[in-house]
């Protein structure tokens, strides 16, 4: 029995004798939860390293005949990779047409992913609104409407969140709920007009962008609040994740004075906690290298600092993306990847996921498979999880 099977069986609770039927103990709630700052799976402290599997659902959403997710989840499970983070939605507005026109067909495709994960004892962290302009584009509003609780954007977000959570909350495969991908990197930028979302008419985006498509931290935090409260109506225990990256080195000053002045350690901490507010009960970050955040000078020091802040806030750290690009060259790529893994282990980061498994569109830089030259990364992750399993099993 591998470690994933054991974890799933634990979620079902211990066998009950007939004599004790009247004193039946309810099964443990599925998924990851947090108690007193401790990440838990099946009621026990948990630490695990997973994978980003961006295309897990997206490929079958675009082509119902694509069943590559079956083999992918099987391979990862056999390699002791316990969970995946994935885009549980369309990327462009055009990708949402099946959902809008035929929900039954849309959810049948997503059901196949959930069933495959259950079959292979894999955890899932679905990201529900990956690309920040997409929902406003669908409903014909500018992006500032993420900050309006009464907007069509917010109504659409509530609807999809409710449907997803109600449909899958009883599945042991669902480990947590994530809002979006790296929205925090786009807020309050002094040069925001240069970074408005792309106009791609073939993908049915908005046909023009204005200053109202420049995201503010207030709008982002409003969207986070509505998402979290919607999830909590239907799921009281699973972890809630913003999907944020690590704050920019000037994020505090971006907001306070619209400048690129570097933040102090205290200002960095304030921004990190602001961007992962209650009831989000983990600190979400993405880290690929050290850019000097919190006045740190190495990856190890940065991850240790993040872990300290998370521990003080009593919110487990989720390193939702990390990795080393192929463009560094073989020697530097391996060194960077190993640095990151050593930092994760040294700081006992409870939850982490490398970028990215089986994403052929990123063959030139990020893709990791069991067959390509970056497969060594999967072997290293397997070793980390075997060590984690020993720690998770300690009394």
Q: Residue 366: is its pLDDT beyond 50?
A: yes
Q: Which fold is adopted by the domain 45-392?
A: TIM Barrel (3.20.20)
pTM of the model: 0.93
Can you name the residues that pair with 33 across neighbouring β-strands?
A: 40
- With a cut of 80, say whether residue 70 has pLDDT above it: yes
The tens digit of pLDDT for each residue in 126-156 reads: 999 999 999 999 999 999 999 999 999 999 9
Q: What is the pLDDT of residues 296-339, one digit of tens each?
A: 999 999 999 999 999 999 999 999 999 999 999 999 999 999 99
- Of residues 5 and 185, which shows the higher confidence score? 185
Measured between alpha carbons, how far apart are the two ends of the chain, in Å? 20
Residue 12 has a pLDDT of 46
pLDDT score at 19: 42
For the chain, the domains span 45-392
Query: Residue 15's pLDDT is what?
Result: 40
């Amino acid at each position: 029995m591998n470690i994933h099977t054991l974890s799933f069986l634990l979620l079902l609770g211990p066998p009950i004798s007939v004599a004790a039927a009247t004193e039946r103990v309810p099964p443990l709630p599925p998924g990851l939860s947090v108690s007193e700052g401790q990440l838990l799976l099946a009621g026990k402290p948990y630490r695990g390293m997973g994978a980003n599997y961006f295309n897990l659902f997206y490929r079958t959403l675009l082509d119902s005949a694509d069943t590559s997710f079956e083999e992918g989840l099987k391979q990862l499970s056999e390699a002791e990779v316990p969970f995946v983070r994935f885009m549980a939605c369309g990327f462009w507005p055009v990708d949402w047409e099946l959902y809008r026109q035929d929900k039954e067909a849309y959810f049948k495709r997503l059901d196949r992913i959930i069933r495959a994960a259950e079959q292979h004892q894999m955890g899932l962290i679905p990201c529900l609104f990956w690309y920040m302009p997409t929902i406003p584009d669908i409903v014909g509003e500018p992006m500032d409407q993420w900050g309006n609780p009464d907007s069509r954007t917010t109504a659409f977000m509530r609807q999809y969140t409710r449907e997803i959570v109600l449909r899958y909350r009883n599945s042991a495969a669902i480990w947590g709920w994530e809002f979006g991908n790296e929205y925090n990197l786009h807020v309050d930028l002094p040069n925001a007009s240069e970074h408005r979302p792309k106009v791609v008419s073939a993908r049915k985006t908005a046909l023009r962008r204005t200053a109202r498509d420049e995201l503010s931290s207030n709008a982002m935090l409003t969207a986070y609040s509505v998402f979290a409260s919607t999830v909590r109506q239907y799921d009281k225990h699973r972890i809630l994740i913003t999907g944020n990256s690590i704050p920019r080195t000037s994020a505090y000053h971006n907001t306070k004075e619209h400048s690129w002045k570097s933040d102090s350690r205290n200002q960095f901490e304030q921004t990190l906690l602001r961007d992962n507010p209650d009831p989000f009960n983990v600190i979400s970050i993405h880290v690929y290298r050290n850019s000097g955040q919190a006045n740190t000078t190495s990856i190890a020091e940065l991850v240790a600092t993040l872990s300290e802040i998370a521990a003080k806030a009593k919110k487990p750290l989720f390193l939702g993306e990390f990795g080393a690009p192929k463009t560094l060259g073989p020697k530097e790529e391996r060194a960077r990847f190993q640095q990151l893994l050593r930092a994760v282990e040294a700081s006992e980061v409870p939850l982490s996921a490398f970028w990215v498994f089986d994403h052929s569109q990123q063959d030139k830089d990020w893709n990791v498979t069991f067959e390509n030259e970056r497969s060594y990364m999967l072997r290293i992750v397997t070793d980390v999880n075997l060590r984690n399993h020993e720690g998770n099993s300690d009394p």
